């Protein structure tokens, strides 16, 4: 039997991948066992959908995991990105992506030199969260602007990653491309389970602290006067951003991961009138970009991260056109990025 071109290319990538695609006796297996069960249920659902629709990409387990990871990214990236964009912190994703790359290099280095068997994504989580806190600490201690602290952390993170790779180039450089550019075929069951844990933490934290984060986002001074610990919520936000970056890195890659924090939110801002509406629309646009991007990447044999970003940018361009057309028809003027009304939410946050 001859496999279709897309499936053959994906399966070839599976066999050439330097990392195992299924959990092989990981120390995390007992902890992640319930999530593995949910992944099995998801795979059964996708297989049934593939049989019903005849879609080739739904016939393979690695695509089931890639789609699930993509759907999670489509929710948590704009969920956090909406706060970041309206706080003019759009570039923090880039800074944390480069430090996450250093975290991956640390994990690969420990595995290659000390044979610890630790997941590079876990070391990426630890390093990215520490880097996020460092950005805030540098800003608070030195009174430097956020872009200065972000530039320092970005440079340090990427420098650390390149040094660790160069120290053991034979063992690390082989598999580093999948972290730089992302890869659908290397989303293992363990990595997908870790992503689901990160997803639950991010969504749960935002749900519990939404009003406070909203108040700090739109009026930091008033929030501080009203007794809200602004520095604490700033740290919560950057730590959540770090978790999003590491989670999205699996299919987006370090180089492009920040785009999903910004581009869907920028598109939603062109057609939305309130913060809540902007948040909802940005999630819809992100999910659309992810699903179309994954499908196009699979059948076109292209890098998923790059295709997803190009689709997201195309959707952004359409949103800009839609906003201008609405303005030309005599509707209210399209809102400037970052000027969306917080509505009643900000009032509730101040209570």
Long-range contacts, stretch 170-177, CB < 8 angstroms, 24+ apart: 171/108, 171/112, 172/105, 172/108, 172/109, 172/112, 174/18, 175/17, 175/18, 175/19, 175/108, 176/104, 176/105, 176/108
- Cα–Cα separations (whole angstroms), residue 46 to 140, 221, 294, 308, 312: 48, 48, 15, 21, 24
Whether 350 has a pLDDT exceeding 90, the answer reads no
Mean pLDDT of all residues in the chain? 81
Per-residue confidence (pLDDT) for residue 71, from 0 to 100: 93
Which candidate, 93, 228, 76, places its Cα nearest to that of 147? Answer: 93
200-223 tens-digit pLDDT: 999 999 999 988 998 888 888 888
Q: Please give the DSSP secondary-structure letter assigned to residue 54.
A: -
- In this prediction, residue 231 has a pLDDT band, given cuts at 50, 70 and 90, of confident
Q: Residue 109 phi/psi, 5° resolution?
A: -65, -45
DSSP letters for 300-322: HT--HHHHHHHHHHHHHHHHHHH
84-143 tens-digit pLDDT: 988 888 888 888 888 888 888 888 888 777 777 777 888 888 999 999 999 888 887 887
Per-residue confidence (pLDDT) for residue 333, from 0 to 100: 55
Q: Please give the DSSP secondary-structure letter assigned to residue 274.
A: B
144-179 tens-digit pLDDT: 667 788 888 888 888 988 888 777 655 555 566 777
262-295 tens-digit pLDDT: 999 999 998 888 888 899 999 999 999 999 999 9
């Amino acid at each position: 039997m001859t496999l279709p071109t897309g499936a053959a290319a994906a399966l070839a990538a599976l066999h050439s991948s330097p990392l195992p695609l299924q959990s092989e006796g990981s120390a995390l297996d007992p902890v992640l066992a319930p999530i593995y069960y949910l992944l099995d249920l998801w795979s059964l659902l996708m297989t049934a959908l593939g049989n019903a629709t005849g879609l080739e990409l739904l016939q393979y387990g690695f695509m089931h995991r890639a789609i699930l990871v993509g759907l999670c990214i489509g929710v948590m990236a704009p969920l956090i990105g909406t706060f970041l964009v309206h706080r003019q912190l759009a570039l923090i994703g880039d800074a944390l992506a480069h430090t996450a790359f250093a975290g991956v290099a640390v994990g690969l280095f420990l595995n290659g030199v000390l044979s610890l068997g630790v997941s590079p994504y876990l070391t990426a989580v630890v390093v990215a969260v520490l880097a996020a806190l460092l950005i805030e600490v540098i800003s608070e201690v030195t009174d430097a602007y956020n872009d200065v602290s972000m530039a320092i952390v970005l440079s340090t993170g990427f420098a650390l990653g390149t040094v660790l790779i160069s120290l053991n180039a034979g063992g690390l450089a082989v598999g580093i491309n999948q972290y730089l550019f992302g890869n659908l075929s290397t989303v293992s069951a363990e990595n997908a389970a870790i992503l689901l844990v990160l997803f639950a933490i991010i969504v749960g934290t935002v749900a519990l602290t939404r009003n406070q984060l909203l108040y700090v986002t739109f009026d930091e001074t008033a929030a501080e006067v009203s007794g809200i610990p602004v520095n604490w919520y700033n740290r919560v936000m950057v730590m959540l951003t770090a978790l999003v970056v590491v989670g999205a890195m699996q299919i987006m890659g370090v180089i492009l991961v920040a785009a999903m924090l910004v581009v869907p939110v920028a598109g939603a801002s062109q057609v939305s009138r309130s913060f809540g509406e902007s948040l909802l629309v940005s999630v819809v646009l992100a999910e659309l970009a992810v699903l179309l991007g994954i499908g196009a990447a699979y059948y076109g044999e292209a890098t998923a991260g790059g295709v997803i970003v190009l689709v997201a940018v195309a959707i952004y361009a359409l949103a800009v056109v839609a906003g201008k057309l609405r303005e030309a028809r005599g509707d209210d003027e399209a809102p400037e990025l970052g000027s969306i009304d917080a509505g009643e939410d900000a009032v509730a946050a101040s209570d």
